[in-house]
Amino acid sequence: LERQLLMQNQMRERQTAMQIAWTREFLKYFGTFFGLAAVGLTAGYEVYFLTENINILHLYFYDAGSSFCIITGSEAENILDTQSTLLELPKGPLTYEDLEKIRRSQSKFFIEK
């Protein structure tokens, strides 16, 4: 059971790292795009100019989407290696003793009723 808990904790850390990496990449790509779009609209670009070049924007997003998964995986590995404190549970990893305490407290609760 102890090995299973350790494996589950490692899987949780990897999933959390992937979520953090995905969020960072999402903010980087889409934040940049919408920031540039806002600056362009504020500068006074005409609607005609934007609709004329809409195909260029579609190609850009198609290309960015294909490399998005590769970048996210490498960013997740980077998080696992250098920022492991982001992945730690507030009270530490769950141990066999913790599970036994929880099980005993729940079994007493159900027996009393």
The residue that leads in pLDDT, 69 or 8, is 8
Beta-sheet strands, E only, within 30-106: none
Distance CA 93, CA 103 (A): 17
Question: Are the CB atoms for 76 and 20 separated by under 8 Å?
Answer: yes
Each residue's pLDDT tens digit, 9-51 = 899 999 999 999 999 988 888 888 888 888 877 776 565 555 5
Domain ranges of the chain: 1-112
Measured CA to CA, the distance from residue 68 to residue 73 in angstroms comes to 9
Query: What DSSP character marks residue 86?
Result: G
| Gap between the terminal Cα atoms of the chain | 29
Residue type, 99: L
